[in-house]
């Protein structure tokens, strides 16, 4: 690693990596200052996909904003939906029924699997392992079929609602999910045999882009990147939300904080997520999926058509400017999204629209730490390290 710096001759080349480079998976840009193949300095640039989500939050009502959360991390929209409504519900001080909590965990873990699978496929593809891409997309496709049947959409799921979910699980969902989790560990083993002891994969990722535990905390890394550095922290364990305290799972931890450890941590997290999904299916309670408060959730269709009160409730929830109103105050709610700590800080002035919504994205802080991991390494490591961080432009720039 240090060899690169010692060879520095004073002549340097500036390489603009991205924003259209295929290995950036979107619109990231890194300006690399190179001496030969060694990276002297890396300057990441953000903002190419800035969409003004936080500004929009000050103009849309609480239920309308769910649609926007889909677009933040477009690899796991269900986790974003979940994190956002949880923040609003905690501000409202309401708790959704047990069945709803379990359904949300189920969907959040399946979307963690889908997110990690896409990461795995593309990170491996960037380093030249094409078959892994095909294997992981084959599995991911099964998950997306389940999402499509449950929510009606593959990407723009908008599945959660303030105080509940869009609809209960479809008939036959349990069988579909069980079939997936029963076969998935075997399918993941195929990837393990392709990569984990693969000489090329190990050479390209082991010791590449390392970060120590102290630095990881200092830089604000969260999720798999933090755990790969050896910090056993998971918000699902530390601050259990939505019945996460009722399932058992392990928190995988790495030692070196390099790209290889981030790979191993994510691989193990997928197995743990499968375990959580099985437990959730085993213990899925019966009952309603929405809170029984018609000022917050939609009434039954029969009530809306059959009773004047139901009609009024329906009108109030749906019409612009009449929706859910939160008490005056502020709340920060963090959830463990596949990439790390996804936080929503909501400041309410007591109306139906947030006064300020701040989204704390994990990717922003991961991308910021990139120079720390890159400088002193080789230019070819850029792709490996960037891939291992899984920076998603949608939540990076919001």
Options 196, 233, 312, 378; binder of other proteins; rule CB under 8 A:
233
φ/ψ (deg, to 5) at 12:
-135, 155
- 227 part of the interface to other proteins, by CB under 8 A: no
- 395 part of the interface to other proteins, by CB under 8 A: no
Options 8, 14, 134, 238; binder of other proteins; rule CB under 8 A:
238
Closer to other proteins by Cβ: residue 200 or 232:
232
To other proteins, the closest distance from the beta carbon of 221 in angstroms equals 8
- 74 part of the interface to other proteins, by CB under 8 A: no
- 54 part of the interface to other proteins, by CB under 8 A: yes
Candidates 2-10, 12-20, 218-226, 315-323; binding stretch for other proteins (CB under 8 A)? 218-226
- 309 part of the interface to other proteins, by CB under 8 A: no
- 33 part of the interface to other proteins, by CB under 8 A: no
- 19 part of the interface to other proteins, by CB under 8 A: no
- 347 part of the interface to other proteins, by CB under 8 A: yes
- 218 part of the interface to other proteins, by CB under 8 A: yes
- 278 part of the interface to other proteins, by CB under 8 A: no
To other proteins, the closest distance from the beta carbon of 352 in angstroms equals 15
To other proteins, the closest distance from the beta carbon of 315 in angstroms equals 26
CA 267, CA 353: separation in Å to the nearest integer? 40
- 334 part of the interface to other proteins, by CB under 8 A: yes
- 146 part of the interface to other proteins, by CB under 8 A: no
- 375 part of the interface to other proteins, by CB under 8 A: no
Options 19, 41, 64, 90; binder of other proteins; rule CB under 8 A:
90
To other proteins, the closest distance from the beta carbon of 49 in angstroms equals 9
* The two structure tokens encoding residue 269: 């997290």
- 360 part of the interface to other proteins, by CB under 8 A: yes
Closer to other proteins by Cβ: residue 79 or 363:
363
* Cβ–Cβ under 8 Å, residues 268 and 254: no
CA 269, CA 257: separation in Å to the nearest integer? 16
Q: What residue ranges bind other proteins (CB under 8 A)?
A: 46-47, 50, 52, 54-56, 58-59, 90-91, 93, 215, 217-221, 231, 233, 238-239, 328-332, 334, 341, 343, 345, 347, 349, 355-356, 358, 360, 364-365, 367-369, 372, 397-398
């Amino acid at each position: 690693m240090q060899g690169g710096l010692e060879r520095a001759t004073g002549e340097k080349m500036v390489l603009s990596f991205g924003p259209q480079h295929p290995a950036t998976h979107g619109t990231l840009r890194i300006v690399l200052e190179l001496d030969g193949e060694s990276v002297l300095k890396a300057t990441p640039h953000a903002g190419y996909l800035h969409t003004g989500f936080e500004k929009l939050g000050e103009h849309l009502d609480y239920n309308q904003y769910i649609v926007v959360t889909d677009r933040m991390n477009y690899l796991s929209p269900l986790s974003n939906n979940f994190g956002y409504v949880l923040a609003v519900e905690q501000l409202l001080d309401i708790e959704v029924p047990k069945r709803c909590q379990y359904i949300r965990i189920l969907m959040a873990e399946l979307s963690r699997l889908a997110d990690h699978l896409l990461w795995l496929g593309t990170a491996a593809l960037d380093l030249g392992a094409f078959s892994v891409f095909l294997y992981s997309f084959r599995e991911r496709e099964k998950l997306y079929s389940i999402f499509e049947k449950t929510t009606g959409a593959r990407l723009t799921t908008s599945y959660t609602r303030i105080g509940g979910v869009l609809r209960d699980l479809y008939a036959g969902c349990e069988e579909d999910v069980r079939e997936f989790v029963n076969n998935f560990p075997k399918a993941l083993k195929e990837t393990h045999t392709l990569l984990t002891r693969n000489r090329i994969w190990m050479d390209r990722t082991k010791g590449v882009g390392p970060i120590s535990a102290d630095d990881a905390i200092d830089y604000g890394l969260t999720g798999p990147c933090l755990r790969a550095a050896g910090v056993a922290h998971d918000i699902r364990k530390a601050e259990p939300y939505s019945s996460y305290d009722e399932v058992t799972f392990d928190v995988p931890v790495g030692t070196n904080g390099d790209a290889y450890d981030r790979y191993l941590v994510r691989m193990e997290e997928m197995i743990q997520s499968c375990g959580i999904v099985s437990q959730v299916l085993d213990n899925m309670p019966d009952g309603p999926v929405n809170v029984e408060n018609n000022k917050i959730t939609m009434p039954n269709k029969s009530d809306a058509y059959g009773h004047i009160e139901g009609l009024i409730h329906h009108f109030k929830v749906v019409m612009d400017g009449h929706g859910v109103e939160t008490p005056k105050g502020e709340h920060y709610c963090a959830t463990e999204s596949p990439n790390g700590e996804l936080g929503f800080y909501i400041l309410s002035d007591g109306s139906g629209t947030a006064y300020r919504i701040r989204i704390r994205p994990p990717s922003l802080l991961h991308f910021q730490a990139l120079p720390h991991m890159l400088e002193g390494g080789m230019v070819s490591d850029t792709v490996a390290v960037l891939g291992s961080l899984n920076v998603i432009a949608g939540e990076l720039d919001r």
